[in-house]
Amino acid sequence: TSTELAENTGDNYASRLCPLGFAVFSVDYRWTPFGKDEMLDVSGAYDYLASRSDIDKTKIVVMGGSHGGYMATMAVSAPEYKRPFIAAVNLYGFLDIEKLVKSDVNKTNPQIKITLDALGDPAENKDSYQAISPVALMKNISTPLLVVVGSEDPFTEELEDFSKQLQNEGKDVDLQIVEGAKHGFEFQQEPYTTSLWNYVREFLEKRVLQK
C-alpha cells in the first residue's frame, strides 16, 4: 500500500541520513494528478517542520526517488508550491509529464490515468502539462539540486539534458550518472545503492551541513 511504501522509504532514508545529523520526515502524499494537490502535501510538510522548535528551518531539504524525485524538483520549481528549501535531491525522477503520459501507451500507471482524466489530452492542453513539468519551469530554480540517475534508466537522457541546461545557466546543479544502474536503485542494488548514497551524503555535507 501507499502507507507501507512511505514507511519503508522513510526507514531507508532515516537509516542513511539520521547518522549524519538529519531528521527524516516521510510524506505519504495523496493520489492526485501529477503536480497538483499532491504537492500541497510537500508544502505542508515543510510548513509543519518549520514550525517545530527542534528543527532548523533554514536547513530543510526535499528529496525523493522516481515519483518522489519529480515532486522534489517540482517543490523548487513550481511557484505556487515553493518553500525555502536549502537543497533538493532528485533520484531518477521524471521531469516531463507530457512525455511520460505519451510513453505509457497502455496507461498502466494509475496516476497517468488520473492525470489524463483531469487534464485531458496533452496535445490539446499543453499549458496544463507544462505547469506540472519541471522541464518547463526550470527558470524558477534557484535551490541547489542533486540529480542521481543510472546510465540504464529510461529517464537518463531527460535528466542529463535538464541538468546540463541548468548548469549552463549558472545554476547549482550536481549531476551524477551511475554506470550500469537501472531505475530504482536506492534499495538493495549493490554496488549501485552505495554509490547513490555516497553522492547524496557528499552533496548534503557540502550544501547543508557545512553552511
Q: What is the pLDDT of residues 18-58, one digit of tens each?
A: 999 999 998 888 889 999 999 999 999 999 999 999 999 99
Beta bridge partners of 70: none
Half-sphere exposure of 59 (CA within 13 A, CB side): 15
Antiparallel, parallel or unpaired: β 61-65 and 87-91: parallel
Per-residue confidence (pLDDT) for residue 105, from 0 to 100:
61
Residue 1 binned pLDDT confidence (cut-offs 50, 70, 90): very low
Whole-number Å distance between alpha carbons of 33 and 30: 10
pLDDT tens track for 144-193: 999 999 999 999 999 999 999 999 999 999 999 999 999 999 988 999 99
Q: Quick check: helix, strand or coil at residue 188?
A: coil
In terms of Cα–Cα distance, which of 207, 204, 187, 211 is closest to 24? 204
